[in-house]
Chains A and B, each alone.
Chain A
């Protein structure tokens, strides 16, 4: 096999000079050894550095003979197949494979790599010494992150706001669109519509409007009657001023003392007709005594309860009822239908289903077992109906009329017609009937007198005869709600004794007011910031939305 080896020796002035040589053999060896086909006088070349085998016309195989490899077309390989035009660089020498000319099976061109190219290679292969050279760029990363965050955190949510039809898409993105703007959890009761921001937030830098709140809370009354008091005087009266949502599931309703005390200072000086009672700042230190609603009737007999401070000297309750608590609660017991028994508060006072208040006392269930409304020894199981004065008269008269008309009534002072025993169906004369009924009326009058004046009614009621001479009783009313402006719950206090607040055991008269004043509460309760006491804010007892203001 014939190889053409063309050597180019560059000379600065005269240009390139050629020197051609012929090599015989299958293999062309390259190296620094004297026996090599192409001699490379360069320390960077091994004695036998590489060999090129001609596989066929224009097809060469290049193999490195040392472990360091050989650089072919710029990259280091241990062996490769290459065509014409490929360059083998060893040190400063370049061996380029050529298309063999006629009469040759293979050809190479040997030249010195020019200095400019070596310098360029050195620069390209210069070591990477800093992070910047290693390709890290702060500016590109900064801009990319800036734009990425701006698009995802501002662009997408804004698109969702202005293009409602895009929300099915944007709201289902892995990064929540407008939900990422949510500053905190909504109140629990707002969760069901919370995904739609515009339920409350109109957007465009407008704060939440009361109209949004009222679209649901239309039945919530305001705080005070706007006809009596100008709430706007107090400043921002928006719903959202107090109700600040997105602060957790239970942070929407304010319970702090300042909610009230900020305004309830010198309130009475700010408007006409505002009672000084409303100037309150702290339950423990600055709260007036309790004002109670007492039953009363006006001159025309209509129920007209009055409000009075518990501290009013000589304050009495006027329920119209006689009831000595001490007798009923006597430790020695009280006579009952089955002998003496000892009563406790709960014998008569039972809590309502909700537990906050006590059920009203009912005569039938609470009193009648002992206080029976019988009116005749002959009908010991017959009682008059409680509370219906007119019907009592009828019932008693009818009872005695029946006795009189049936006859056979064995009583010495009764008229003969009443005493006579008659067969069933035997008629009596009109004169006899009139006589019998007269007796019956007398009996009824006596019984009613005894009922109203003697044994039964007057035990608890004040009975009197009206202008027509008929029996009646004075009206009776227990307050029902003593403190309608506050919410006291008996259930929350069911670990206490009744007697710790209500001095019933020593009360001999129903006009005794058995309600404790504020000092009693303060034994356990203090203001919001009290130490060693139950911290109690205004909202613990009072409501805010209790007026008509809208």
Chain B
């Protein structure tokens, strides 16, 4: 991290210092300024700060265009993003000073509120970009997402084979499990995945319990803490029974699938988290742009 440049450290934190300077100047002017009446957006300082804030908003929205222009030579994208984050944050204070802290139920405060929501959603975006990529790398464990999906499909095929060799009921259970397996899903499923892949494993385990109970005449099976111990026990006690070998492999596969699908849904969740804030950030910044136009238009229309 320390060796390469991030959006925070870009250009020796050039935009951090520019933002801090902008904030300091604005605060100093606000404190020094003695307006006619109370501080509000209609004083000369109010107009000045408002113009700066409006210009910043327009420029910040240009990032959406700049990031699509891969061939642009107008600064690096990292530089733009760095400025976007720092100057966008400074906007919180500049806009508040512009308003003179006058709030109300009107288009002007709506503009401010929209701006705040956009900026705070941006804060989540910054957090996501800093935090989630490394979590994703760790979670994938050097496998690609497609590799995980392919392996899950492969496991499905193999499980059917082993299940078929055990018992039609187990086969039906696995078949149902495969039909029911949902990788990814809707917005909600992507953001808040629920792990319900246990049922097949549970049913196979229940089948084992039953078999064991029948064989041992209803002896307590609860003493066997794990299914693997059980399978070992079965394998040892009835070595001739080929089914046990298949059962053991089937359970290995199911456990592997559970682990893989868990990792996949975590991967998809992290990916979704890295994107979801943009669905607030971008549309709301367009709502903000419209509110800003109405705000500026109305105060001068009814000057």
Contact = CB atoms under 8 A, between A and B. Distances in A.
- Report whether chain A binds chain B: yes
Interface of A: 32, 43-44, 46-48, 66-69, 76, 127-136, 138, 141-150, 153-154, 157-158, 161, 179-185, 197, 201, 203-208, 241-242, 244, 247-248, 251, 254, 256, 258-259
A148 B36 CA distance: 36
A155 B28 CA distance: 38
A251 B107 contact: no
The 3 A-B pairs at the shortest CB distance, nearest first, are namely A127-B183, A68-B176, A153-B294
Interface in B72-107: 102, 104-107
B128 interface: no
Interface of B: 34, 36-38, 40-42, 102, 104-108, 110, 145, 149, 157, 160-161, 164, 168, 171-173, 175-176, 178-180, 182-187, 190, 268, 271-272, 275-276, 278-279, 282-287, 289-291, 293-295, 297-303
B102 to A, nearest CB: 5
Given A67-B176, A138-B282, A146 B287 contact: yes
B185 A131 contact: no
B186 A208 contact: no
B190 A128 contact: yes
A135 B189 CA distance: 13
Contact of B279 (A47, A131, A157, A201): A131
Contacts of B149: 127
A48 B104 CA distance: 70
A422 B56 CA distance: 115
Contacts, number: 173
Contacts of B108: 183
A131 B192 CA distance: 12
The dominant DSSP class at the B interface is: helix
Nearest to A128: B184
Contacts of A203: 301-302
Contacts of B183: 127, 129
B290 A67 contact: no
A32 B161 CA distance: 13
Contacts of B187: 131, 134-136
Contacts of A32: 164
A503 to B, nearest CB: 40
The dominant DSSP class at the A interface is: loop
Contacts of B185: 127-128, 134
B294 A205 contact: no
Contacts of A207: 303
A49 to B, nearest CB: 9
Contacts of A131: 187, 190, 272, 275-276, 279
A261 to B, nearest CB: 11
A242 B104 CA distance: 23
23 contacts: A32-B164, A43-B164, A44-B178, A66-B172, A66-B176, A68-B180, A127-B183, A127-B185, A129-B190, A132-B275, A135-B186, A138-B278, A142-B282, A145-B287, A154-B293, A154-B294, A180-B107, A180-B110, A182-B104, A247-B40, A248-B38, A251-B37, A259-B36
A348 to B, nearest CB: 45
B286 A242 contact: no
Contacts of B299: 181, 183
Nearest to A157: B298
A129 B34 contact: no
Contacts of A204: 301
